[in-house]
Amino acid sequence: MFALRSTTTASVRSASKLAPALAALARFKSTSSSAASLKQRIEQLIPEKTAEVKEVKQKYGDRVLGETTVNMAYGGMRGIKGMIWDTSLLDADEGIRFRGLSIPEVQQQLPKPKGATETTPEALFWLLLTGEIPTAAQAQSITDELNSRASLPQFVVDLIDRCPSTLHPMSQLSLAVNALQHDSQFARAYHAGINRKDYWDPVFEDSLDLLAKLPLVASRIYRNVFKDGKHGSVDASVDYSQNFANLLGFAENAEFADLMRLYLVIHSDHEGGNVSAHTTHLVGSALSDPYLSFAAGLNGLAGPLHGLANQEVLRWILKMQEEIGTDTPTEDQIREYCWATLNSGRVVPGYGHAVLRKTDPRYMAQREFAQKNLPEDNLFKTVSALYKIVPGVLTEHGKTKNPWPNVDAHSGVLLRHYGLVEQDFYTVLFGVSRAFGVLSQLIWDRALGFSIERPKSLTTESIRAMFEKK
């Protein structure tokens, strides 16, 4: 859609005016001029993007995107081309591209905080929303804006603190996000009769508010469930990932903060068909506000086939080491264990992907981080051995289209190395990251006036009748 640009400043134009009847509503303009520049940049892009979509529909509206088969309908709609998701595109051979940029290009071209080796989700947020590479000042403006919004209503704090420690962290996260909906600006604006062309404005504000509060929610859950229940506060002088690391209790580890930057960036967006992204988009299409939409996406992310995959990988590796009796298994021992797993009717977790047909670039980004920061870690050495062995085993097995590792094959190992060993929390980290991608697209969904999603369903009998009558 709109092309990647590199800008140095965002030209300023007055923000859209709400109807007089809405004047008494909560603010729709950012609390600082820095973040207003992002909003104004989006406002400038909306007419251009709207015109582009109109042109595409006029020129190609009756063109066929692809074939839909019966197997696709029964197989989770896998491969069906049926939705728009402009913030990222997944190529089977190249992997994910964020607004046209590969992960290595994002790492190289987006600005980094002073002293950091990785870029930030704030910089990526600017890229996803505008298609432009932000300057360091523009990325910092998002950091400052998120820090200024980072507080929780007392009733949400009390709600989290009253949750039993036996309630899964993802359930607590979803509960808290739903509770934050109490202050949704979009919900109030819609109730007051906001013009549909202005929907994106309070959705933008809700999205920034939600992003700002997620580290506080997630860290509170972590400290309550797994630690001492003591909580820190946001430091306005540092970036989002450093604050998140601090709140979790890893303030003294600069490498862990860089890992958080990498983790939050590479897990943020993976086009629109995955469960968490599609669910957020689907629920948002009913004009549910960002809190309700994202909470729904989190519930999808909590499923074992989606967001729990990274902890399943780590558990499989740890179980392998336990059963073999060493944390430094040989290649022959690893190969034998892989075959035992496959012959028992199970899969080797962390290998294969619904779309990718090569090693996941997100895996490679984490592998490079490990090679630089923890090359002697025994668990990383085992992961490296698996990378060498598993593709050959799966190819010989003959039942896997893609024998290469995906992002989940590595992330748990990195978190464990730095002391974040509580596997039930890993999906919460994934959820915080995924917010940056799905909320960016949700803003554009409303800016472009996308329709409520309503695909056609069929019964098994109707499919049978469709083909047997011919």
Q: For 183-214, b where at least 16 C-beta lie within 10 A, e where not — what string?
A: bbbbbbbbeeebeeebbbbbbbbbbbbbbbbb
List, in order, residues 6 or more apart from 311 with CB less than 8 Å away.
412, 423, 424, 426, 427
Rg (CA), the chain: 23
Tell me the CB-side half-sphere exposure of residue 409, using CA atoms within 13 A: 29
List, in order, residues 6 or more apart from 87 with CB less than 8 Å away.
98, 99, 128, 269, 437, 440, 441, 444
3 state SS for the chain: CCCCEECCCCCCCCCCCCCHHHCCCCCCCCCCHHHHHHHHHHHHHHHHHHHHHHHHHHHHCCCCCCCCCHHHHHCCCCCCCCCCCCCEEEECCCEEEECCEEHHHHHHHCCCCCCCCCCCHHHHHHHHHHCEECCHHHHHHHHHHHHHCCCCCHHHHHHHHHCCCCCCHHHHHHHHHHHHHHHCHHHHHHHHCCCHHHCHHHHHHHHHHHHHHHHHHHHHHHHHHHCCCCCCCCCCCCCHHHHHHHHHCCCCCHHHHHHHHHHHHHCCCCCCCCHHHHHHHHHHHCCCCHHHHHHHHHHHHCCCCCCCHHHHHHHHHHHHHHHHCCCCCCHHHHHHHHHHHHHCCCCCCCECCCCCCCCCHHHHHHHHHHHHHCCCCHHHHHHHHHHHHHHHHHHHHCCCCCCCECCHHHHHHHHHHCCCCCHHHHHHHHHHHHHHHHHHHHHHHHHCCCCCCCCCCCCHHHHHHHHHCC
- Indicate which residues carry an active-site annotation: 306, 353, 408
The count of residues in the chain is 470
Degrees (nearest 5) of the Cα angle 275, 278, 281? 145
